[in-house]
Amino acid sequence: MDKRNNHQWQRYLPKLTELFWISLSILFYEIVFAIYYRNLPSGYVPLFSIAFGLFFGALAMVPPHPRARIILQGVFTGVVGFIYIAQVVYHRIFGTLFIVNSLQGADDAMYFADVLFISIFKSLPIIALFFVPMVVFFIVARKYIRRSKHTAVSVVAAICTAIIITVFTTGLVVFDNSGAVSPRRLYLSEFSDELASRRFGLLQTMTLDLRFNVLKIQFTIEEEVVLDDIVVEESFASPSTEINPSETVNASSTASEPLETTIPTETEPEPIVYEPNILNITFPADETDTTLADMNAYFSAKEPSMQNEYSGLFEGKNLILITAEGFSKYVIDPELTPTLYMMANEGFVFNNFYTPVWGVSTSDGEYVATTGLIPKSGVWSYSYISDNEMPFAFGNQFAAKGYISKAYHNHTYTYYNRHKSYPTMGYDYKGIGNGVDVKKTWPESDLEMIQVTGPEFIGNQPFHVYFMTVSGHLRYSFSGNFIAAQNKALVEQLDKSSAVKAYYACQMELDFAMAELIRQLDNAGQLENTVIAISSDHYPYGLEEEQYNELAGHDLEKTFEMYENSFILWSASMPSPIVVDTYCSSLDIAPTLSNLFGLPYDSRLYAGTDILSDSEKYVVFKDRSFINGSFMYDAGAKKVIKLVDEDLTEDHLKEAIEHVNDMFKYSSKIIEKDYYGYILTEDWRNQQT
């Protein structure tokens, strides 16, 4: 009996190997990728892996000659493995997955050649695992495939089986509305590479990227949030600060609540009634386009934020807005970066500020800070809006008030298509190649950029200037980074690793640039009349995890704490610092500055919120985790961390999750439909002046 069973097994093993080899290889790749991504693959991953593998396996079975079939099996195994390896290396460099739209940046890849080789070297252990299927194939599997015999019917049967499994799995997904962001939503209506890779695996995520962002096939669905089992933890730790300012805005209010109880006077002053930050916009109720009609209903019903005691505080002043490459709050130091330290501690002090990482690295980081919108996943959002109207962009807002409106970047001016997006934002833009004349190094000097551009805008006419810096760019090494090598002597005394020293050296160049900027403003008599705002595009993911922990001085929690940062908002005219304990992020910068400068804007049309208003704020992350002041929601771990000693109901949690989903949904729809251009009327245009 045993011999008969063994004979049957030997008879079918070659066919089974040929049919399922690629499926098993893909499943292995997915498991390894999930380990790298620190994620447990869901039940959909094996099903999609089998379907993909059967399809490729069937194609490899077409040639009649065994050698040709072996070659095809090997090629498919190797090519698919290379896709996973490429994604791992790309993720190590940029902290996100590669999407189809990233191909438009292929011409600029030369700037990262050394970073690429270093990243490959550091990824060798995980890369070695991806070679396991190829090794097993050449040692074992190909021998069985050589002995496999089949007919055309077998090929057709394999393809049909792949189709059946795909249809079956798709059906399961389409009817699965579980979780804060359901598989159904991800598959049909809202692409998210972060969430899709967790739910469906890498290969299926890449096919969804093609469907959503190349073929433009997506569907509109309506569904309620169905929560899985949620773990609730309690943490009532108070925010900490190193300074004792005279004024504080607490985590749930406007700035009107004092730190201490004061003795009431005989006559209490009348409370100030603040107006909402809205414009006179008519949202058409008779719109026939279903998407626009839905957007009109949503924005018309959305609660606006209110003006507050800080509204117009900086009205009439100049604004210099800076996105600092790879900046982290942990380099703010009284000895190493004294100018940044002064600015960070003598202006607005945001104790709970976050800089989430988005899909397109730096470009998405500056997009969020300058538009107050969440980037559309799968596209280069800043490039996407190049043909749209962006009336709330600071360049357009200040230009309408008669300001000089300029933007500068000390790297190639076409990088990330900035030569297309910045003019849309209202800027007269210059970079290297069209007006910014600095030494061509890698990276280039922020200090030199300020030295050569300052005289172009600092004068008697009001100005708004936007800078995108580059000196803080990875890789953080004294051998492959000009700025780090240039400032090496200034950090050699630090008791830090070489990479962390190099990172400090890079960010010191930003400090030198800010000192030079302040000097020029002071000499021109414009220092008191100018506001400088600095935020990062992303945390320095060019540092390894242990290196960033070293920089921070402790092990960082990875869902939230990793993205804590600093938003420097400073003016020499401020008599004392103002500490803000509100949870906030780069998404809130645009509406906050609009309110402070008294610009005409409609708070309903932002995803972000004026930090100084009494509206509820949401710090949102790419995987739909969020913080709202009352609790933190960890989407990956399905965990809630309470921040206040209050009951949290399921309805409250659902409402918060739905609110975050809407933030993502309508941010994407705004740029997809050029909504600002659609809703913009002549009356509204007149309000901008």
Q: pLDDT tens digits for 409-443?
A: 999 999 999 999 999 999 999 999 999 999 999 99
* Same domain, residue pair 455 and 320: yes
What would the mean pLDDT of 489-503 be, rounded to a whole number? 98
Residue 267 belongs to some domain of the structure: no
Q: Indicate whether 384 pLDDT > 60.
A: yes
**Cα-Cα-Cα-Cα dihedral sign, residues 37, 38, 44, 46:** positive
Alpha-carbon distances, residue 216 vs 81, 212, 298, 669, 672 (angstroms): 27, 5, 23, 13, 11
Residue 271 belongs to some domain of the structure: no
pLDDT digits (tens, 9 = 90+) for 640-680: 999 998 888 889 999 999 999 999 999 999 999 999 999 98
- Name the most confidently modeled range: 34-48, 213-227, 447-461: 447-461
Q: Indicate whether 358 pLDDT > 60.
A: yes
Q: Indicate whether 541 pLDDT > 90.
A: yes
* Same domain, residue pair 479 and 336: yes
| Mean of all residue pLDDT scores within the chain | 89
* Same domain, residue pair 178 and 304: no
Q: Indicate whether 323 pLDDT > 50.
A: yes
* Same domain, residue pair 281 and 354: yes
CATH number for the domain harbouring residue 412 = 3.40.720.10
Cα–Cα distance, 56 to 553 (Å, whole number): 49
What are residue 415's phi and psi, to 5 degrees? -60, 135
What would the mean pLDDT of 576-599 be, rounded to a whole number? 98
Higher pLDDT, 662 or 59: 662
* Same domain, residue pair 379 and 484: yes
* Same domain, residue pair 297 and 175: no
- Show the tokens assigned to 646: 């209050």
Q: How many CB atoms lie within 10 A of CB 217?
A: 11
* Same domain, residue pair 202 and 284: no
Q: Indicate whether 241 pLDDT > 70.
A: no
Domain range holding 290?
Answer: 247-257+276-687
Residue 262 belongs to some domain of the structure: no
* Same domain, residue pair 345 and 478: yes
Q: Quick one: how far is CA 504 from the chain centroid? A: 23
Residue 119 belongs to some domain of the structure: yes
pLDDT digits (tens, 9 = 90+) for 446-482: 999 999 999 999 998 999 999 999 999 999 999 989 9
- Supply the pLDDT for residue 240: 40
Residue 263, class by beta-carbon neighbours within 10 Å (0-12 exposed, 13-18 middle, 19+ buried)? exposed
Residue 420, class by beta-carbon neighbours within 10 Å (0-12 exposed, 13-18 middle, 19+ buried)? middle
Residue 230 belongs to some domain of the structure: no
At residue 230 the predicted structure's pLDDT band, cuts being 50, 70 and 90, is confident
- Name the most confidently modeled range: 16-30, 40-54, 254-268, 463-477: 463-477
* Same domain, residue pair 507 and 648: yes
- HSE, side-chain direction, 13 A CA sphere, residue 189: 18
- Supply the pLDDT for residue 264: 46
* Same domain, residue pair 496 and 385: yes
**Residue for token digits 């950029």?**
449
- Supply the pLDDT for residue 202: 95
**Residue for token digits 């208003």?**
613
- The secondary structure of 311-357, three-state, reads CCCCCCCEEEEEEECCCCHHHCCCCCCHHHHHHHHHCEEEEEEECCC
Residue 488 belongs to some domain of the structure: yes
- Show the tokens assigned to 394: 């600071």
CB 504 within 8 A of CB 491: yes
* Same domain, residue pair 288 and 155: no
* Same domain, residue pair 77 and 178: yes
Burial code (b: 16+ CB inside 10 Å, e: under 16) for 136-172 equals bbeeebbebbeebebeeebbeebbebbeebbeebbee
At residue 267 the predicted structure's pLDDT band, cuts being 50, 70 and 90, is low
At residue 238 the predicted structure's pLDDT band, cuts being 50, 70 and 90, is very low
Residue 669 belongs to some domain of the structure: yes
Give this prediction's pTM.
0.90
- Supply the pLDDT for residue 73: 87
Domain count, the chain: 2
